[in-house]
A and B are shown apart, each in its own frame.
Chain A
Amino acid sequence: MRSTTPAGFALLFIIGFCVSFGAFEASRGSAFERFVVEDLILVPTTDLINIVTPNEHAQLNGRVIASPGSSLHVTRGCEGIEMFLLLVAAIMAFPATWKQRVQGLLLGCMLAYALSVTRLMALHYILRFSPRAWEALHGLVLPLGPIVLMALFFMRWSDRAAQPRPATHAA
């Protein structure tokens, strides 16, 4: 396992983020991008809204989560993909074993997915029931809050990954 300075980590992190962002941007409009954004994120979000509040009768029209009382247009950058990109870049930049990285990516992706869906659901309900709070929550809290939670997850993971492993002795 290699060691790195904070500045080295920062450099690797931003390079990794640029690469993963570039790769995802290149896939915009492709079947892969539609599968990730629509099938994996938007369809389950709409289903969950209907399960939690059956009277909403939410429907997914393209990338618009529409209900009789609201219409949430999920634009580029609103899908929650950034959490996955930040997670991948941060975990790959941190000096850890591949096993630790895979564990971190699996757990982190599950968290990022849950946060993406929860965030979109929250946006739908805010637009539906409290449009006055929309600007404050949509502009700052809901984009930044999940990223902060992901950062806390990364801190926890990196703290464990950095701990020296106990020495084992052959019998």
Chain B
Amino acid sequence: MPLELRWALAAALALAVGVACAEPYARLAAPFYAAVDRLISAKHPWEVTSVEVRPGKSAAAELQLHGYVRRHPDDLRRAARVVGRVQVGEVVETPLVFWTLLLVWPAASIRQRAERLIIGAPVFVALEAMTTASQLMLPMAQASAILAGDNDPTTAWDHWSRFLEAGGQFALVCVGAIIVISAARRIRPSASAGNLRYRFANLPANLRPDALESLPDHVAWTEPAARVPRRAENRDYRPPHGAG
């Protein structure tokens, strides 16, 4: 199957999954966003009371952050009540793009794909915090600016939000995925650790020692790397042949 067709099918499938799973995903991820937003608000006079999926103005489901803003961190009285809103369709964009890229990007082996998924998990958490969780906080920053006397506030949060809405979210998620793929590509088992299985696994079948095939997975091959025949290190090596 041509690569472009494969990507197009994967994208169509991902979009269908996204439409079907946007709301359940937003419900599932809401506690994570609440935790991240509470962490961010700890350094500001903000108080996050809840993050949950609720019907929006047009009765469609949206992820809503409810919270309060004070004038100063030590104020006992709340000065403003705010509601941050993100459509559930936008919520699912980050996981959809990120995991589709990681899963569909061609891999040399299942092991390499698994490495990508393992490395990808913390990167994904960071991306979620930078995109959806930060979008929910925008009204709090605006309320703080208004309370400080700025009637037409354009805060750093506004600039970040505009960046995300102008394609920055897609760009950021793609960059995150490419970095994960690039990092996974660099990970190679060390030959000095006795892992000759990996080196031989890349060889043509006619050069692979028979014993390798019968070794159980948990047995490490302890033969020093220096004893590997030099010709065996050449992946493209073909034994000499001629007409007899």
Q: Which residues of A contact B (CB under 8 A)?
A: 5-7, 9-11, 13-14, 17-18, 21, 24-25, 76-77, 81-83, 85-86, 89, 134-136, 138-141, 143-145, 147-148, 151-152, 155-156, 159
5 sampled A-B residue pairs with Cβ under 8 A: A7-B182, A14-B171, A77-B166, A143-B89, A144-B93
Q: Is the CB of B15 within 8 A of A152?
A: no
Chain B positions within 8 Å of A134 at CB level: 58, 60
A5-B182, A155-B3 as given contacts; A76 in contact with B19, CB under 8 Å: no
Interface SS of chain B: helix
Interface of A is mostly: helix
Instruction: Pick from A17, A135, A152: contact of B171, CB below 8 A.
Output: A17
On chain B, which size bracket covers the interface?
A: 35 or more
Which residue in B89, B167, B175, B182 is a CB contact (below 8 Å) of A135?
A: B89
Known: A10-B182, A139-B88. A17 touches B11 (CB 8 A): no
The answer to whether A83 and B167 touch across the interface, beta carbons within 8 angstroms, is: yes
Chain A CB within 8 A of B198 CB: no
B110 at interface by CB-CB < 8 Å? no
Q: B89 near A7 (CB under 8 angstroms)?
A: no
Chain B residues, CB < 8 A from A138: 87, 89
Asked if B22 and A21 make an inter-chain contact with CB atoms under 8 angstroms apart, the answer reads no
Which residue in chain A gives the minimum CB-CB distance to B59?
A135
